[in-house]
Every structure is written in C-alpha cells, then in structure tokens.
Amino acid sequence: MATSDDRFDWYRIVFGDDDLSDPDYPLDHVPKDERKGLISLSAVLLGLVFFAGTMWAGAEVSAAMGFQEMLTAMVVGHIILGAYVALLCAISANAGLTTVLLARYSFGRIGAKWADLLLGGTQVGWFGVTIPMVAIPTATYLGLESATMVGAVILIWGLLHMSTAYFGYDGMEKLSYVAVPFLVIVGLLSIALAAGDAGGIDGLMSQTGGGEMSFGLAVTIVVGTFISAGTQAPNWARFAINSRIAFWAGLIAFLVGNSFLFLSGAVGGTVYDVTPSGDLYEVLVAQGLASVGLIALILNIWTTNDNAAYAFSVAGAEAFEFDRKRPFVIAGCAIGILLALAGADELLLPWLELLGQYIPPLGAVIIADFLLCWRGSVPRMDGVQFTGVRWVGVFAYAAGCLVAILTAGSVLPGVTAPALIPGMAALNGMITAVVVHVVGYYALEETGLLPAHRVHEDADRV
C-alpha cells in the first residue's frame, strides 16, 4: 500500500525539492559564483560534439566528392560552424542565459515559443535517432540478435543517457572528463592505423568520389552535422566565468573537435568497406579493436545524447515557463526512446540537411540582436517587459529560411523548391537573417513602427 511518503518521493524524483532552486537555472541568469572554467566547459562541449553521426557524414561527403575536395568543404564548413557557435557562446556567458531565454529578447515572449519548438523538438528527434547507433552494436556484440532483445537494449541505453542529463551540468561534466580523453586517444589511433592500411597520406588523397554532391551541399552537411546542437551551446556556455572563456571553449569544440570527428569518419570510410560507412565501431572492428570500439561508441553516443536531453529540458522549461528541468528531461527522453524503437535512426542524413537550413537563421538573429542592437549588454529579465512577438526578429528569421530554401532547392527532404540562389544554404540564410534584422530594427523598431520590449529605467544590465 502506497503512503504519502512514497508519493512525495516520486514527486521529488520528477520535480526536485520544492525548497531548493534548480541548480541549472533554466529560467534565470546563472549567478557569477556558479560559473565554470575553460577545462570544464571545453570538456562538456567536446563531449557534445564527439558524435558518431558526424563520422557518417564525413564518410558520405568524402565518398561523394573525393578526399581532397572533402577536406576543403570540411574546413569551410567548420570555420562557419566554429565562428557561429563561438559567438553564441560568448553572448550566452555574458548574459548567463540559455538559447531559448536569449530568444525571448530577439523574438518576444510568445515568439520565443517557436525557438522552444524548433530547438527542443529537433533535440528530442536527435535523441531518438542516436540511441540505436549504440544499442544495435551493443546487442550485436553481446549476441542479442532478436528484435525483442534489441528493443530492450534501446530502452536501457535511453534510460542511461537520460540519467546524466537528469543531474544537469554536473552529471554531464563528470562523464565528459572520462569520455573525452579516451575518445581522443582512440580516434588518433584509428586514424593512424587507417592511414597505414591506405598506404600513407598519398593513398588517402588519391581517393576520388562519385561526383554526385555539390560543394554547397557538402558545406551545408558539414554545418548541419552540429548546427542545431551548436545553437544550443549557450545552454552550457552560460556557465562560463566570462565571455572570452566561452568563446574559446566553443571554438575548440566546434572547429577543432567536430573537424576531428568528421575527418575520422572520412578516413575510415575511405579505407574500410563497412556499413554504415565511416562508422566508429565498425571501423575499429575492421582494425581488430572490437572491444575498444564498443567502449568508444558507448561514450561517444552517451556524451552527445545526454546533452540533447538537457537541451530539450531547458527548452521545455521556457515553453511552459516552469522553473524545473527534470520533468522535461523525463518526458522528452520517453518520446525519444519511442522514436528509437520506431526506427528513427534511418533519417540521420536527411535530418542533418534539414537542420542545416532552418536552425542557422535563428542563431544568426540572436547574434545580430545582441551584438548590433543590444550592443553586447542586455538588461536582466526581471527588468524587461517583453512584448508578445518581436516582429523584426520573426521577419528576419523567415527571410533567412526562405533564402536557405531557395539556395538548397529543398523545403523538406523529398519536397523540392526552385534553386534560384547560388552558394551555401546555411551561410546565405545566416547572412540574410542578420541583414534583415539589423535593417528592420533601425527602420521599423527604433522609429516606433513595430512594437519593442519595454526596459525599466532602473533595470540592471549584464
């Protein structure tokens, strides 16, 4: 028979202790005495970007373009990605706010709900896409081949991925301190073995592709590998001691770390005939390192997926204006596990292309708003009366998405549009969003033609 104490325990598991604030501050500025240093933040962000799906994308681009052309697309794409994320990280550290709370300033209290849906929803999907990437190899390694057993392993890994997100930044930090050094060592070893099997660097560089991928699409895929997660990077960068540390941590993770994973996948896919091409575990199996490969894959997926769970939890907290993240960790992970059981992992590359079009303009609006409109210093949230919809930001985002669509020639995977604009969809969309937002701000908002937030005269700035 259940007692009131039993019910209280379940309530506390889901919602936390009512007498204590959420230590991750999902609806508030992170206090200065809760900030972290470069090593801590870099470890968490590197754990985020160390993701096997990036290796799949690297192998896919290399097979389509050839190794040398892939290198060019990789460098261009990661410079765009790294600069974009580093700026967002610096902004978030200055304000001490998550991405979706930053979006309140750029899009309004109601307009920010679109950011909640877009960023939170994509991360729930990401959670579901990636669980089978570790669950299926685990089941295969253990000889659990039946659909029932594979489903059970998916459930177990989903719950484990949820567990570190449940404990917030501190839980993810501890896991990253273990995972990141191990993954760097294994990655370097695998690249060295693959280069040896290919006959050296010359053997890798001589690989030619099928020619079916344009340079713009390749860069969009490079950017899309982590543009959604990169737009979420403020969720962790807000804990940085200052904006300089946040900027460098973002650059280390998304320029250096993501390039390392992308290159590893391209090398593995070039040398070894495995499925999926460039897959971390399958490549290490081909190199005679199956046990090491499984451990690396477990850590690789875990450090990414707990970040995804954390991201959709703070988006949920903002959407419902509820100051606890744990209920949204649990609910989002449950949905993600159901997606994984339904076979969502087959949608990875189309998912990346979609993210590369629709996420960058949102982050670009936030960057333009904070650097050019707020001049790098925003009032604290309790000193702002937020307008419902800040139309300047909404119009800028819509314009950026439209340009990205007309550049990529695609609305959704399988739904085409005229490709009227040359160049790279992600970059074109970001530039358009910045220009429209800045012009709209000075032409429409500063002149009083469109509504703006009301800032209290005595509001403190951060």
pLDDT at residue 266 above 60? yes
Pairing relationship of beta strands 415-416 and 410-412 according to DSSP bridges: antiparallel
> What's domain 33-357's architecture?
Orthogonal Bundle (1.10)
What pLDDT score was predicted for residue 311? 95
Q: What is the pLDDT of residue 208?
A: 81
CB 297 within 8 A of CB 281: yes
- Of 439 and 215, which is predicted with more confidence? 439
270, 238 Cβ separation under 8 angstroms: no
Residue ranges of domains in the chain: 33-357
pLDDT score for 213: 85
Model pLDDT, residue 11: 74
Q: Would you say residue 60 has pLDDT above 80?
A: yes
Average pLDDT over residues 19-28: 88
User: For residue 243, is pLDDT > 50?
Assistant: yes
- For 287-305, the pLDDT digits (tens) are 999 999 999 999 999 999 9
pLDDT grade, residue 15 (50/70/90)? confident
pLDDT at residue 4 is higher than 60: no
Average per-residue pLDDT for the chain: 91
Between 21 and 113, the higher pLDDT residue:
113
pLDDT at residue 182 is higher than 70: yes
Say whether pLDDT at 348 is over 70. no
In the chain, the largest separation of any two C-alpha atoms, in whole Å, equals 71
List Cα–Cα distances, 450 to 82, 401, 440, in angstroms. 33, 21, 9
pLDDT tier at 2, thresholds 50, 70, 90: very low
Mean pLDDT of 228-254: 95
Instruction: Indicate if the pLDDT at residue 170 is higher than 90.
Output: yes
pLDDT exceeds 50 at position 438: yes
pLDDT class for 376, splitting at 50, 70, 90? confident
3-state secondary structure the chain: CCCHHHHHHHHHHHHCCCCCCCCCCCCCCCCHHHCECHHHHHHHHHHHHCCHHHHHHHHHHHHHHEHHHHHHHHHHHHHHHHHHHHHHHHHHHHHCCCHHHHHHHHHCCCCHHHHHHHHHHHHHHHHHHHHHHHHHHHHHHCCCCCHHHHHHHHHHHHHHHHHHHHCHHHHHHHHHHHHHHHHHHHHHHHHHHHHHHCCCHHHHHCCECCCCCCHHHHHHHHHHCCHHHHHCCHHHHCCECCHHHHHHHHHHHHHHHHHHHHHHHHHHHHHCCCCCCCCHHHHHHHCCCHHHHHHHHHHHHHHHHHHHHHHHHHHHHHHCCCCCCHHHHHHHHHHHHHHHHCCHHHHHHHHHHHHHHHCHHHHHHHHHHHHHHCCCCCECHHHEECCCCCHHHHHHHHHHHHHHHHHHCEEECCEECCCCCCCCHHHHHHHHHHHHHHHHHHHHHCCCCCCCCEECCCCCEC
Residues 66-79 have pLDDT tens digits of 899 999 999 999 99
Closest of 111, 127, 157 to residue 351, by C-alpha:
127
Question: Cβ distance 408 to 220 under 8 Å?
Answer: yes
Question: pLDDT tens digits for 77-126?
Answer: 999 899 999 999 999 999 999 999 999 999 999 999 999 999 888 888 88
For residues 219 and 185, give the distance between their C-alpha atoms in angstroms, rounded to a whole number: 27
Average pLDDT estimate for 149-165:
96
Regarding predicted confidence, which is higher, 90 or 353? Answer: 90
- In the chain, the percentage of residues whose pLDDT exceeds 90 is 70
Average pLDDT over residues 24-49: 96
> CA 194, 198, 203, 205: dihedral to nearest 10 degrees?
-30
pLDDT of residue 210: 75
For the chain, what percent of residues have pLDDT higher than 70? Answer: 96
Beta carbons of 459 and 383 less than 8 angstroms apart: yes
Is 89 within 8 Å of 237 (Cβ atoms)? yes
For residue 8, pLDDT over 60 is answered with: no
Rounded distance between C-alpha atoms, residue 260 and residue 265, angstroms: 9
**Helical packing angle, 425-440 and 360-368, nearest 10°:** 30
- Predicted local distance difference test score (pLDDT) of residue 224: 75
pLDDT at 221: 81
Q: Cα(427)–Cα(360) distance, rounded to whole angstroms?
A: 8
- Indicate the angle between helix axes 215-224 and 67-95, nearest 10 degrees: 40
Tokens of 4: 């009131």
Question: Quick one: 156 exposed, middle or buried, by C-beta within 10 A (0-12, 13-18, 19+)?
Answer: middle
Model confidence pLDDT, tens digit, residues 312-326: 999 999 999 999 999
> Is it the case that residue 3 has pLDDT exceeding 60?
no
pLDDT at residue 6, as a whole number: 52
Alpha carbon separation from 314 to 131, 268, 309 (Å, rounded): 20, 36, 9
pLDDT of residue 190: 95
Residue 1 pLDDT level (bands cut at 50, 70, 90): very low
pLDDT at 280 over 80: yes
